[in-house]
Amino acid sequence: MTIATGERLPSTTFTKMTQNGPEAVASDDYFAGRTVAIFSVPGAFTPTCSAKHLPGFVEKADALKAKGVDEIACTAVNDVFVMGAWGKSAGADDKVTMLADGNGDFAKAVGLTMDGSKFGLGTRGQRFSMIVKDGVVAELNVEEPGDYKVSSADHMLGQL
């Protein structure tokens, strides 16, 4: 079942790359007491994700933070090394936190997986974005398959 606005995010663990290597990030701690803009992409280095989705949040990071967002995070069902390299190549370092959902635990827990098998991707997270306030989903924007509209940074700015 897909998570809905007003619901608390389930407890899962992400991984992020740090200067000291991979670091586990407990979702309960990560979202506690602050406003986080999180967006999910089907895969790092894929066309729409690399050309539009991540760059849009990097470009609009200051505007989102000016509207009350404490942190911006990108997640994908990719390993932490790929997410770290993608963030670095996109210039996301100090603007967007790259959270690897390596086994898809977060995508499964929020009910937002997709089957990318016909493209050789296996089970991935759908393209979506959320505004999460103190662990509770305040806004949820899920794209139709193949679309890139409602999960964008611009759309999110209009929601804040």
In a domain, 55, yes or no: yes
Q: What does the pLDDT read at residue 85?
A: 93
Q: What does the pLDDT read at residue 136?
A: 98
Q: What does the pLDDT read at residue 8?
A: 97
In a domain, 50, yes or no: yes
Q: What does the pLDDT read at residue 59?
A: 95
Nearest-CA neighbor of 157 among 69, 70, 96, 91? Answer: 69
d(CA 39, CA 91): 17
Catalytically annotated residues: 49
Q: What does the pLDDT read at residue 48?
A: 77
In a domain, 114, yes or no: yes
pTM: 0.94
Q: Letter for the amino acid at 84? A: G
In a domain, 7, yes or no: no
Per the structure, the complete domain to which residue 72 belongs is given by 13-159
In a domain, 6, yes or no: no
* Token pair in block for residue 95: 């603007």
Q: State the total domains in the chain.
A: 1
Burial of 141 (0-12, 13-18, 19+ CB in 10 A): middle
- Whose tokens are 């979506």? That residue is 128
Residues of the chain below pLDDT 50: none
In a domain, 98, yes or no: yes
Strand (E) positions, the chain?
Answer: 13-18, 21-26, 35-40, 71-76, 97-100, 113-115, 123-125, 128-133, 136-142
In a domain, 140, yes or no: yes
d(CA 39, CA 107): 11
Nearest-CA neighbor of 142 among 104, 119, 113? Answer: 113
Q: What does the pLDDT read at residue 29?
A: 97
Polymer length of the chain: 160
In a domain, 3, yes or no: no
CATH number, domain with residue 135: 3.40.30.10
